[in-house]
């Protein structure tokens, strides 16, 4: 199926105002820190205000699966093009193209990090793809970076490329689900970052991830998040 078909499937699978019935989950306040699924002993509700409905993580898993299938497919066949249009629609690209690709990430991070004192800090790069920006946060700032993506194929390539391009800092690679808090355990970040990722998602997933990205910040932390919107 093409991307338009998958987007339509995603919208059909999403059930507005969905809320599980039955006995509420038993969760302590400490458990709220390690899962986006629960809040104070009950299922956590995410308010998609502009669309006038609420969702739980249970209700967004089907739409997430449609997104994940599409991105994993591209990760196997045209990973580089999928994260930066203009590159070849092939499984691999030349080393010259890769050098240019990662250099473009360094320019972005230099702009983002200006005046934020991120040297040596912990950074979350959400929707990191092939690590274009994660590598720059680590190599330029010596940051400890968590590179999060829904596509295991993109992450596999990113991990291989990091082994060849590491200069400073550290990068770990984490496959995501709608429960973004779960794989982070109680780790919190000085800076959360996401570009060219949230714009591909339906509003419900955008809200679910935006709320949890805020949850993952330390007190006084900051972020740089790009998302398309109408004014």
Return the pLDDT at 164: 96
The Cα 194–Cα 127 span in angstroms is 6
DSSP letters spanning 10-66 = HHHH--TT----SSPP---HHHHTT-SSEETTEE--EEEGGGTEEE-HHHHHHHHHH
Find the helix or strand (DSSP H, E) in which 157 lies: helix 152-165
> Are the C-beta atoms of 51 and 58 separated by less than 8 Å?
no
The Cα 162–Cα 78 span in angstroms is 19
Rounded (10°) CA dihedral 134, 189, 228, 152: 50
Q: State how beta strands 217-225 and 53-55 pair.
A: unpaired
The Cα 21–Cα 71 span in angstroms is 32
The Cα 91–Cα 109 span in angstroms is 26
Rounded (10°) CA dihedral 118, 212, 209, 77: 60
Return the pLDDT at 117: 82
Return the pLDDT at 149: 94
Phi, psi (deg, nearest 5) at residue 59: -75, -20
Residue segments in the chain with a per-residue pLDDT below the cut of 50: 1-31, 231
Residue 110 sits at the vertex; the CA angle it makes with 104 and 116, to the nearest 5 degrees, is 150
Return the pLDDT at 32: 54
Return the pLDDT at 230: 57
pLDDT in tens, 75-118: 999 999 998 888 999 999 999 999 999 999 999 999 988 888 88
> Are the C-beta atoms of 179 and 39 separated by less than 8 Å?
no
Return the pLDDT at 168: 94
pLDDT in tens, 165-179: 999 999 999 998 989
The Cα 1–Cα 126 span in angstroms is 26
DSSP letters spanning 69-112 = HHHHHHHHH-HHHHHSBTB-SSS---HHHHHHHHHHHHHHHHHH
The Cα 79–Cα 157 span in angstroms is 9
């Amino acid at each position: 199926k093409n991307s338009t078909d998958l987007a339509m499937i995603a919208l059909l699978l999403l059930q507005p105002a969905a809320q599980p019935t039955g006995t509420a989950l038993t969760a302590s306040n400490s458990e709220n820190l390690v899962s986006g699924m629960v809040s104070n002993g009950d299922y956590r509700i995410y308010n998609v205000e502009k669309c006038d409905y609420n969702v739980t993580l249970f209700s967004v898993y089907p739409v997430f699966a449609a997104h994940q299938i599409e991105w994993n497919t591209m990760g196997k066949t045209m990973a580089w093009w999928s994260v930066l249009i203009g590159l070849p629609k092939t499984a691999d690209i030349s080393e010259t193209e890769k050098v240019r690709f990662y250099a473009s990430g360094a320019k972005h991070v230099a702009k983002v990090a200006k005046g934020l004192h991120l040297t040596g800090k912990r950074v979350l790069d959400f929707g990191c793809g092939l690590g274009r920006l994660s590598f720059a946060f680590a190599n330029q700032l010596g940051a400890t970076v968590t590179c999060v993506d829904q596509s295991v194929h993109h992450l596999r390539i990113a991990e291989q490329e990091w082994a060849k391009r590491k200069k400073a800092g550290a990068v770990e690679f984490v496959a995501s689900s709608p429960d973004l808090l779960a794989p982070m355990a109680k780790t919190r970040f000085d800076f959360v970052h996401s570009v060219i990722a949230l714009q591909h998602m339906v509003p419900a997933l955008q809200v679910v991830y935006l709320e949890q990205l805020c949850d993952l910040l330390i007190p006084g932390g900051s972020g740089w998040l790009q998302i398309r919107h109408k004014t």
